[in-house]
Amino acid sequence: MEISTLATYHCLAFVWYFFVTYSITHVRTEERPSEVFLYGGQWKYLTVLNLVLQAVFYGVSFLADALRLIKKLRCAKCVISSRDLLFSVLAFPVSTFVCLSFWTLYSYNRELVYPKSLDGVIPLWLNHAMHTAVLPFAVLEILATPHRYPAKKKGSILLGFVAFLYISWVLWIYSVTGEWVYPLFALFRPAGLAAFFTCSLAIIISFYNFGEFLNRMIWGQSKFWF
């Protein structure tokens, strides 16, 4: 893909994610179900954090494209390294996890992840923008440009560390409010919850490995930059 075309795409994707993030964070306070938007607001949901992550990623990608267009190659090289790290370790696996886990649980019992009370607050288009469109965007990014992946061990450790931070945030919210971020968690005893988190981590790491596989199949083997 031509750099100018790629820059246009990344710019539009950044604007889209900025708009979606703005939309979900500006749901009118008086319409928010109190049992959903307690301590932590929208920032306790992985879906919303992923929107911010995607906006940051596409913003960095657009910056890298712009630097390449104006021939600032030394600066572009540094930004591209950050872009590749963001995409490989976080943007692709988290988007894939958000989409597939949400719709799997939604199909089983929506009250576990997305209570019906939200239907009158969050428009259908916004629900799909948060939970559906993120996966096609991630796949399209792999098709649009190659990304250099870090050594698998280091990438997995970094992803695991970020997952640990989010789990810690979820547990902190529960310790403060006595309410789980997702009703699903209330179904588990401590050992079961630990097993659920461990299984979820294994799944998201498998998505990281799958992203690397797709990147290698489409673009060929590239040297690790880590």
The yes-or-no verdict on residue 36 having pLDDT over 90 is no
Instruction: Examine residue 35 and state whether it is found in any structural domain, yes or no.
Output: yes
Two tokens at 38?
Answer: 């307690």
116 inside domain: yes
Q: Is residue 165 part of a domain?
A: yes
From CA 86, how far away is CA 61, in angstroms rounded?
10
Residue 68's domain spans which residues?
3-219
Query: In this structure, is residue 13 part of a structural domain?
Result: yes
With beta carbons less than 8 A apart as the criterion, state whether 106 and 114 touch: yes
Count how many domains the chain has.
Answer: 1
CB atoms < 10 A from the CB of 16, how many? 17
pLDDT tens figures, 149-180:
999 999 999 999 999 999 999 999 999 988 89
Proportion of the chain above pLDDT 90, given as a percent:
76
Task: Report, as an integer, the average pLDDT of 128-141.
Answer: 96
Cα–Cα distance measured from residue 151 to residue 162, given in angstroms and rounded to the nearest whole number? 17
Q: Say if 226 falls within a structural domain.
A: no
Residue 220's pLDDT band (cuts 50, 70, 90): confident
- Does the pTM exceed 0.75? yes
Q: Does the pLDDT value for residue 226 go beyond 50?
A: no
3-state secondary structure the chain: CCHHHHHHHHHHHHHHHHHHHHHHHCCCHHHCCCCCCCCCHHHHCHHHHHHHHHHHHHHHHHHHHHHHHCCCHHHHHHHHHHHHHHHHHHHHHHHHHHHHHHHHHHHHHHHHCCCHHHHHCCCHHHHHHHHCCHHHHHHHHHHHCCCCCCCHHHHHHHHHHHHHHHHHHHHHHHHHHCCCCCHHHHHCCHHHHHHHHHHHHHHHHHHHHHHHHHHHHHHCCCCCCC
Q: The tokens 């306790």 sit on which residue?
A: 44
Average pLDDT over the chain, rounded to an integer: 90
CA distance 93 to 204: 6
